Amino acid sequence: MRRLALLIPLVILLVGCGGKSATSGATKTKGSTMNCEIGGDKSKAELANLDEGKTHEIVVNTNKGSFTFELATKISPCATASIAGLVQKGFFDGLTFHRIVPGFVIQGGDPEGNGMGGPGYTTVDAPPKDTQYVKGLVAMAKSGSDPSGTSGSQFFVVTGENVGLPPDYAVLGRVTDGLDVVEQIGRLGDPSDPSGAPTERIEIKNMRLEAK
The answer to whether the beta carbons of residues 140 and 79 sit under 8 Å apart is yes
Exposed / middle / buried, residue 128 (Cβ in 10 Å: 0-12, 13-18, 19+):
exposed
> pLDDT class for 20, splitting at 50, 70, 90?
very low
- The structural domains of the chain, ordered by start, are 4-18+55-211 (2.40.100.10)
What is the C-alpha separation between 92 and 87, in angstroms, rounded? 6
Residue 76: closest CA among 119, 24, 128, 3: 128
At 60 the pLDDT is 98
What is the C-alpha separation between 124 and 148, in angstroms, rounded? 7
What is the C-alpha separation between 9 and 30, in angstroms, rounded? 37
Phi/psi of residue 83, each to 5°? -65, -35
Interval 8-33 mean pLDDT: 41
What is the C-alpha separation between 99 and 105, in angstroms, rounded? 8
CA distances, 197 to each of 51, 99, 176, 177 (Å): 38, 5, 26, 25
16 has a pLDDT exceeding 70: no
At 105 the pLDDT is 97
Task: Give tens-digit pLDDT for 136-152.
Answer: 999 999 988 889 999 99
